[in-house]
Amino acid sequence: MATSLSTTRETPRTASPAGSLQLTDLVKQYPGSAGTEPAVAGITLDIRPGEFLTLLGPSGCGKTTTLRMIAGFETPSHGTLTLDGEDMIALTPDKRPMAMVFQSYALFPHMSVFDNVAYGLRLQRFPRKRVQEEVDFALASMSLTKLADRAPNQLSGGQQQRVALARAMVMKPKVLLFDEPLSNLDAKLRVQMRTEIRALQHKLGITSVYVTHDQDEAMSLSDRIVVMRQGRIEQVATPDTVYRKPASVFVADFIGRANFLDTTIDTLVTDGGGNRATVRALGATYVVPAHDALVTGSPVCLMVRPESVALSPAPESREVTGSYGRVLKSVFYGAWVEYEIETVDGNVTAVIHDPAPGDILASGTFVQVSFEQDRAWLLPADD
């Protein structure tokens, strides 16, 4: 039976401050798929000690295959994988100083919560007293102490996920791997669990690699996000950079929501603060931040996030011309209202937060449409 935490017990082992993970030109070509694009097509990543890094992308982009190669469940067709300078490819999964939290929880149904968490320690023949201390500490960290004697089928989905996380954490791995661990939970519980995961990871300082297709999870959890597409990396950056300065139209479209306006560069100025370009859009001239790869005359696409679009009243009986548009649809969500606006540059989505009760615009209303130019982003047009 599990005992309660003792104030006189030894301090549990601390996680190693190491955990520098390097992936170099990592390729995975499955047998029988010669002549087709590999599942992972030459990924190079330098994952820092203590970093929370998320692999994000649509189904089939190679993120799970990459995670499985890190864990040792898949063997790379080419490339190297090292942890603190040590080759990992030669090691089987059980020999790698890593632990994985699975989407399905993967708990042993015939074992109690305590025994599920203790399983790995017992497999490594830790002394009984040490197992007790380590498991008690892990259960307390995940608010599971009172559930130690229950079976997994007596727990909610969120509680089962906490057990799976405690089981991984108790091994004090150098790297924690997460394979879409929250996808089986309801929306409210997902928000709660990702907050707890981030707080725990930050406290322990364990290098973590997280796979998801959920943009909100990636944005709220990560130090950096790796956006993947067709087995390749599109961008590696902080959540703020990925959202505000995406590397491509694909990234801009995949992360959050965006309006894309066709335009051309009138002038392009490069200075110490980065490129800025003068463009025409929505019947006005704007000077906007621009991608470093742009040159005058190159095909471009102007990205404007819906929350950066501003609407103001327009005189009645206006046509859709210049900066004037017409409300096609408005949807009230409580904390914000979303509009679809017909403009000369196509339909534009605008999000207005915390609208006053009498300020919600009806369909058919004519408005003047503009945007915050410093929050726009000029990108190379997609291939």
Question: What b/e readout covers 133-163, taking b as 16+ CB neighbours within 10 angstroms?
Answer: bbbbbbbebbebbebbeebbeebeebbbbbb
Is 99 in contact with 72 (CB distance < 8 Å)?
no
Residue 350 pairs with which residues in a beta bridge?
A: 339
Residue in 147, 10, 164 with CA at minimum distance from that of residue 102: 164
- Given this model, what pLDDT does residue 37 score? 87
Is 73 in contact with 231 (CB distance < 8 Å)?
no
Q: Other C-beta atoms within 10 Å of 66: how many?
A: 28
Domains in the chain, CATH or no CATH each: 21-244 (3.40.50.300), 257-380 (2.40.50.140)
Is 55 in contact with 209 (CB distance < 8 Å)?
yes
- Given this model, what pLDDT does residue 276 score? 93
Is 229 in contact with 250 (CB distance < 8 Å)?
yes
- Given this model, what pLDDT does residue 8 score? 33
The DSSP secondary-structure symbol of 186 reads: -
Amino acid at 297: G
Amino acid at 228: M
**Antiparallel, parallel or unpaired: β 259-263 and 300-304:** antiparallel
Is 3 in contact with 24 (CB distance < 8 Å)?
no
- Given this model, what pLDDT does residue 15 score? 45
Is 27 in contact with 79 (CB distance < 8 Å)?
yes
Is 374 in contact with 322 (CB distance < 8 Å)?
no
Half-sphere exposure of 83 (CA within 13 A, CB side): 25
Is 217 in contact with 189 (CB distance < 8 Å)?
no
- Cα–Cα distance, 302 to 304 (Å, whole number): 7
Positive/negative CA dihedral, 16, 17, 19, 20: negative
Predicted confidence pLDDT, tens digits, the chain (383 residues)? 333 333 333 444 554 557 999 999 999 998 877 778 899 999 999 999 999 999 999 999 999 999 999 999 999 999 999 999 999 999 999 899 999 888 887 888 999 999 999 998 998 889 999 999 999 998 988 888 999 999 999 998 888 888 988 888 888 899 999 998 888 778 888 888 888 888 888 888 899 999 999 999 999 999 999 999 999 999 999 999 999 999 999 999 999 899 999 899 999 988 767 899 999 999 999 999 999 888 888 889 999 999 999 999 887 767 888 899 999 999 999 899 999 999 999 999 999 998 887 888 999 999 999 999 999 999 998 76
Is 160 in contact with 166 (CB distance < 8 Å)?
no
The DSSP secondary-structure symbol of 16 reads: P
Is 274 in contact with 288 (CB distance < 8 Å)?
no
- Cα–Cα distance, 209 to 51 (Å, whole number): 8
Q: Other C-beta atoms within 10 Å of 108: how many?
A: 12
- Cα–Cα distance, 299 to 379 (Å, whole number): 9
